[in-house]
Amino acid sequence: MTKLSVNINKIATLRNARGGNMPNVVQVAKDIERFGGQGITVHPRPDERHIRYQDARDLSKIVTTEFNIEGNPIPKFIDLVLETKPHQVTLVPDAITNITSDAGWDTIKHKDFLKEVISEFKNNGIRTSIFVDPVPKMIEGAKETGTDRIELYTEAYAKGFEDGTKETSIQPYIKAAEIALKNELGINAGHDLSLDNIAFFSSHIPGLLEVSIGHALICESLYLGLENVVQMYLRKLI
Ligand code: PXP
């Protein structure tokens, strides 16, 4: 079964809009776990526009499922991960100015850097995943970095699904997953996954271990309620 890790960045965005502590990010994480969520993901960015570094510290003490911190491994981020020791760190090559992640790693160009960072995290008992496009040579390059897992960047799939071309847009992801499995890499996926497109994706990708979903899940919860939505995802991931 594929695990659902809920990305709670948007909860922090809402909190930051007013400057107080509502909604309370820690309480929401606890509630998501109570509703059946199998992991909590956060993506602290250097400008702390949603999740703050202190949120990651606070969450690391209370998350009882799987805690996943994602981000660009700049020195401040590496220090935070080594301090909080999440179960998993997902490395993402996003520029400071990006609104959201918009590309996977070039695992060939950045092989030496990734190798070094990944080995530091793994030496500290933290599982590693790296964000990649579904491109065969990037998956093969990921193997060379020593990472435990890859996270497939699913924006192109989600766009294809919306445009009515799901059958063709899923193909590179199936191929990428097959290469990952052949190379004994675990497979995660995320970005723009939603209640509409998740079942088709998860039922076609062999060995999909985990999806991390934030934006759509929180938007859907505005209409359907967070507890309900978490459980709807779980039913689609069976
Ligand atoms: N994976 C990565 C690397 C991300 O940067 C994000 C967005 O923070 C997600 C997954 C989740 O994407 P979404 O918010 O569209 O579900």
Q: What is the set of domains in the chain, with CATH numbers?
A: 3-236 (3.20.20.70)
Q: Indicate which residue's Cα is closest to atom 12 of ligand 1.
A: 191
pLDDT tens-digit readout, 194-222:
999 999 999 999 999 999 999 999 999 99
Spell out which residues line ligand 1, taking CB within 6 angstroms. 7, 9, 43, 70, 90, 92, 100-101, 131, 151, 190-193, 212-216
Q: Indicate which residue's Cα is closest to atom 5 of ligand 1.
A: 101
| Closest-lying ligand 1 atom to the alpha carbon of residue 217 | 16
Q: What is the pTM of this model?
A: 0.97
C-alpha 173/C-alpha 56 separation (Å) is: 31
DSSP 173-202: HHHHHHHHHHTT-EEEEESS--TTTHHHHH
C-alpha 126/C-alpha 118 separation (Å) is: 9
pLDDT tens-digit readout, 122-168:
999 999 999 999 999 999 999 999 999 999 999 999 999 999 999 99
H helix or E strand, kind and range, residue 41: strand 39-42
DSSP state of 108: T
In the reported structure, the alpha carbon of residue 156 is separated from the centroid of ligand 1 by a whole-number distance in angstroms of 13
Contacts 24+ apart (CB under 8 A), 174-178: 174/204, 174/205, 174/206, 175/134, 175/136, 176/132, 176/134, 176/135, 176/136, 176/139, 176/150, 176/152, 177/152, 177/205, 177/206, 177/207, 177/208, 178/206
